[in-house]
Every structure is written in C-alpha cells, then in structure tokens.
Amino acid sequence: MTRWRVVMLIAIATLVPALTVAVVLADLPERSRRTLLESLGTEWVVLALGLVVLVTGIGWVAWSTWRSEQRHDVRQAGDILIIANANAAHRLAGATAVERAVNVLAERHAGAEQRLIDQLAAAHAELTRERDALFAVLAGLDVPVGVVDDLGRVLLVNPAARQLLVAGGRAPVAAGRSIFGVFDADDFTPLLTRAIAGERVSATVRDTPMRLARITGPDEPAMVLVIGEPGEEPSGPVVGLSVDLSRHSRPSPSREEWLATPLRDIVFTVLDCETTGLHAAAGDRLIALGAVRVDGGTVRADDTFDALVNPGVHIPESSTRFHGISDELVREAPSGPQVLAEFAAWAVDSVLVGHHLAFDLGFLGPPAAQAGITLEPLSLDTMLLSAVLDDDPDARHGLDGVCTRFGVEVIGRHTALGDALATAEVLVRMLPLLDERGIRTLGQAREAMAATGLAGRLATAGG
C-alpha cells in the first residue's frame, strides 16, 4: 500500500458520506428537506462526530497497514542485502510467494558462488602449494625474514623476526603494521629508499644487523626483502608466520583524518572482555582481555592480543561457570594496569570496536586510568551497527543473534579472544551493507549509530 492510497482511502471515507447526504437532500422536495433538517435539530453534531470517528478509524487502519508493509519491505531488503553481500546461506523467514522466490534465487546464488569458489580453488591449487611450501621454509628458518612495501607496511614476517623484535622490547610486528613502529623512521627510511632504488643495502639499525633488497621489478609495486642475522635460541613462544602479500600499498590516515576516512581504510582493534560480574560501578573487575586487528576489511587472525588479568578480588563461581576463568587461573596473571599498558601499545593507531562496547569500556576505564592511559575515544559498536542495518523493533542485536544472521561461526564463545574474533568477522560482513546505505566513512557510521532507537534506549538506561 502506497502513501497515496492511504490518502485516497481517507478522502473516500470523507467524501462518500458527504456526497450521499448531499444527493439525498437534493432529491427531497423542499418541504421534506426542511422537515428533515428541523427534525435533526442538534443531532447534526452526533452525525459529524460519527463522520470524524469513521474517517479516523479508516485512516488509522490504512496508515498502520502502510507502516507495516513499509517495515516488511525494509526487513526484506535488509535480508536480501545480507544474502548478496554478507551471508549467502541466509534466508527470508516468511512464506509469501515473493519470499519463497527470493529464497530459491538465494539457493541458486549460493550454488553459483560455491561453484565459483571451487573453480578458483582448483585454478590456484598449484600456486597455493608452491606458496605454502615457500612459507613453510620461511617459517622454519632461524634467520629473521620480512617483506615491506614502499610505505614501510609489513607484508610478511616470519617467526624468527617476530621473536627477535619481541625480545628487544619493541612494538608488536605483524602483517599490516608499520615497520616504523619498530624502527625509527630517520634510521630506516634511507635504507628503504636505497633498496627501492635497486641497491642491495647492509646496515645495523638499533643493534639489529640487516640486509635489504628489492624483490619486484621497476614497473611493479615495490616490495623489499629484509633479512636479519640469526639470534639466540628463543626462550619464549614463537609467534607464527604473518603474511599478506596481496595488500595494496596505501598511506595510513592520520587520527585527524579518521572521521572522513572510508571504513575499509581504517585499522580497527576489535576487543572483548571477561569480568568477575556485570556491574563495573558495583566493583566488578576485568579478568581477561582479547582483541584482534582488522585492516583493509580483513580480519588479521595472526595479529591478536590475549591476556588474563588478576583482578585482586575473588571470582564468583557463577561467573566462573559462565567463562571458565577461576581464581587459580589468574593467580599469577598481571594486574589490570599492566595489561592495559601492553594493550594500549599493541592497539596504537587504531579505532576500537566491540559488541556493546560501552560494557567493555566500563571495565577497561579504571585500570587504564591507573596506568595513566587514555583509550581512543573514536570507536564503533557492532551492536548499534546491527540496529542501523535492521531497525525492526523485534530484531535481536545480541552477539549470538547477529552472528547467526551474518553466518559467523563462533569458536570459543564466552572467551575474550573467541568473542573478539566473532565480532571482527561480523564487522567485516557489515561493511558492504553499510556502504549500500551510503554509510562509508567512520564519521557517517558514528552518526548513524547515534541516531538509532537502541542507542537512545541504552543512553536512557545508562542515565
């Protein structure tokens, strides 16, 4: 039902009784007409009120029908966009002819997509085997090896290089991060420039001997191989190979540019917390923090943060049954301020994301303040983004419901890192749907979240 049909129904409801009365009065003889009007007396008020009630009732039914159809159309459109852009296994819940037809089309879409995936997998099978063999060799070397682009972004780093840099107390290193977070730009940039120009460079930077050489041709995007000297036998755990040779070389936006930056060009830190209870204001505390980086619309599962926290208080059994963390598990864990200091260094130059992020920030705030750390205020909440994409009052925006809608399998539910990884997968599936709605920058996403009814209800409940 369109808006014009609603207007026409109201007009008909008004005009038909009025025209009927006019025709009857016009057809009556003058004496009969005068007698009728005199007999009505003041009853015309009742008739007028009846007309108003009639028009109002018809108008309300028409308007509510129109609103229901509009919501149904919006919900259908949202479900179809999820099928097209985020989860090919999603289906419309209704049983109308249109919904059945869309589901049939979705089945064909999923089948065609799977066939394409199978064909691509077959076409790249040999290349993948060769690449994996090379990566296995690199991962097994005790020689530190890395690859960076012309902007200093890390494209590949093997376990030996990551172990060496971690042992040196430097910033985290992984594919997608900047080498300038590890080495000073004034020291490393001249070496990188010479290598890009084709020179084979040997130097020592911050007590780290290294060799640099360009491994791509002059007409290809610059990739520079960085080889270090073998270090001592690692005493701690060695982090696995981190690689993304397919990423495009692009400058990272500054913090001042973030609000106007496309969402796919921003690095996100997606986090989740486990706690002693649900009420930070009542004294409940942080006991686990997990996070993963999302860069270029890709979940960097090789770049994660996972830490237990000693809360300094007893963990109730009711909470332990929920997340499995007991007093014994956190007895030797670092304190909240220590973990927040490490997390802040790991999450630098990124936008924080969480599912009902305000809950997590309520527990991160106190230990961050004790450590003298200010967490990044620009953030996104996937629960509110879910409300942006589906404003149906009956829609479920909890993590389980959202994961089901977007086809995300949760591994390790109610563990900090498991929930952070699930939330990150939800975020990257939301990006094309937000783009379809014209929500393309961080600023637009934050404005859309603030305008949802769910944000208003959460603000009221928090107040």
pLDDT (tens digit per residue) in 94-126: 777 878 777 777 777 777 777 777 777 777 677
283/402 same-domain check: yes
Residue 463, pLDDT score: 46
Residue 254 phi, psi (nearest 5): -75, 165
pLDDT per position as a tens digit, 306-359: 999 999 999 999 999 889 999 999 999 999 999 999 999 999 889 999 999 999
Cα–Cα distance for residue pair 431/422, rounded to 1 Å:
15
CB 306 within 8 A of CB 334: no
pLDDT over 80 (residue 175): yes
In the three-class reduction of DSSP (H, G, I as helix; E, B as strand; rest coil), residue 163 is classed as helix
What would the mean pLDDT of 165-184 be, rounded to a whole number?
A: 81
Supply the angle between the helices 442-450 and 382-389 in degrees, to the nearest 10: 80
327/390 same-domain check: yes
pLDDT per position as a tens digit, 54-64: 777 777 777 77
Residue 421, domain member (yes or no) = yes
Residue 398, domain member (yes or no) = yes
pLDDT per position as a tens digit, 42-87: 666 666 777 677 777 777 777 777 777 777 777 777 887 887 777 7
346/451 same-domain check: yes
222/268 same-domain check: no
Which residue, of 243, 272, 306, is where some domain finishes? 243
Report residue 163 CA to chain centroid gap.
Answer: 30
Q: What is the CATH number of the domain that holds 219?
A: 3.30.450.20
Count of the separate structural domains present in the chain: 3
Residue 13, pLDDT score: 66
Cβ contacts of residue 18 below 8 Å, gap of 6+?
A: 51
Residue 266, pLDDT score: 92
Question: How confident is the prediction for the chain on average, in pLDDT?
Answer: 85
Residue 440, domain member (yes or no) = yes
Cα–Cα distance for residue pair 321/110, rounded to 1 Å:
39
452/332 same-domain check: yes
Residue 167, pLDDT score: 64
For residues 140 and 204, which has the higher predicted lDDT (pLDDT)? 204
Cα–Cα distance for residue pair 260/275, rounded to 1 Å:
35
What would the mean pLDDT of 290-305 be, rounded to a whole number?
A: 92
Report residue 461 CA to chain centroid gap.
Answer: 24
> Which residue shows structure tokens 């990884």?
421
C-alpha distances in Å from residue 279, one per residue of 84, 216, 275, 431 = 39, 55, 9, 31
**Number of helices followed by number of strands (H, E) in the chain:** 16, 11
pLDDT over 80 (residue 130): no
| Beta-bridge mates of residue 307 | 289
CB 145 within 8 A of CB 175: no
Residue 285, pLDDT score: 95
Residue 243, pLDDT score: 83
In the three-class reduction of DSSP (H, G, I as helix; E, B as strand; rest coil), residue 351 is classed as strand
Residue 397 phi, psi (nearest 5): -115, 10
Find the domain containing 344 and state its range: 259-462
Cα–Cα distance for residue pair 35/30, rounded to 1 Å:
9
Which residue, of 86, 109, 129, is where some domain finishes? 86
Residue 182, domain member (yes or no) = yes
40/78 same-domain check: yes
194/300 same-domain check: no
335/206 same-domain check: no
Q: Which tokens in the block code for residue 446?
A: 């934050």
Residue 28, domain member (yes or no) = yes
279/401 same-domain check: yes
Q: What is the CATH number of the domain that holds 404?
A: 3.30.420.10
What would you measure as the largest C-alpha separation in the chain, in angstroms? 118
Report residue 26 CA to chain centroid gap.
Answer: 69
In the three-class reduction of DSSP (H, G, I as helix; E, B as strand; rest coil), residue 198 is classed as coil
Report residue 255 CA to chain centroid gap.
Answer: 19
Cα–Cα distance for residue pair 339/368, rounded to 1 Å:
9
Nearest CA among 398, 364, 401 for reference residue 381: 398
282/406 same-domain check: yes
pLDDT over 70 (residue 4): no
Of the pLDDT bands very low, low, confident and very high (cuts 50, 70, 90), residue 449 is very high
264/391 same-domain check: yes
Cα–Cα distance for residue pair 362/284, rounded to 1 Å:
10
> Which residue shows structure tokens 């205020």?
377
